[in-house]
């Protein structure tokens, strides 16, 4: 499921990038109003992405990897279900608008949410969802550093 979501996100970004490039090329074709329309469209997409995050899933802000690390360390609760559509659509809108964002962080955060959800469905304990390095005892951890 995580892989399919990552592929769909990547495909959506590639399609949006192609549409944006075609739109910019049309804007450079010499139409007086076209470049204003291109800039206004990019600003509207970026504003819509920001509104989606602020309104429906504030934990979807940023790259996503710091949020995943905070959840794994127990500092934050897991994200809500609204994270996936907001991160997906908001990411496509923001990156499609030309903002300098990476696709890796959103993919990691969405994948972590899917993994957490699968763990809940199969009634796994939170401890089972932690990486093995977080299960070590302090004595064992200090021995492995030598």
Segment-wise mean pLDDT, segments of 10 residues, the chain, 146 residues: 86 91 84 84 93 89 82 81 88 87 83 82 66 53 48
State pTM to two decimals. Answer: 0.75
What are the structural domain ranges in the chain? 2-144
Phi-psi region of 119 (alpha: psi -120 to 50; beta: other; left: phi over 0): alpha
Residue 21 to residue 26: CA distance in whole angstroms: 9
pLDDT for 114-126, tens place per residue?
Answer: 887 787 777 766 5
């Amino acid at each position: 499921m995580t892989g399919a979501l990552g592929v769909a996100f990547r495909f959506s970004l590639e399609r949006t990038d192609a549409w944006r490039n075609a739109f910019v090329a049309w804007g450079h074709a010499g139409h007086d109003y076209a470049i204003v329309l291109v800039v206004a469209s990019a600003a509207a997409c970026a504003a819509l992405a920001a509104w989606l995050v602020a309104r429906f899933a504030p934990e979807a802000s940023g790259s996503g990897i710091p949020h995943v690390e905070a959840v794994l360390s127990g500092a934050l609760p897991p994200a809500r279900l609204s994270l996936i559509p907001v991160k997906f659509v908001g990411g496509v809108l923001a990156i499609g608008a030309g903002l300098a964002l990476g696709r890796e962080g959103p993919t990691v955060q969405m994948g972590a949410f899917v993994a957490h959800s699968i763990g809940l469905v199969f009634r796994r304990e939170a401890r089972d969802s932690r990486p093995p390095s977080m299960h070590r005892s302090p004595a064992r951890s200090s021995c492995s550093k030598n």
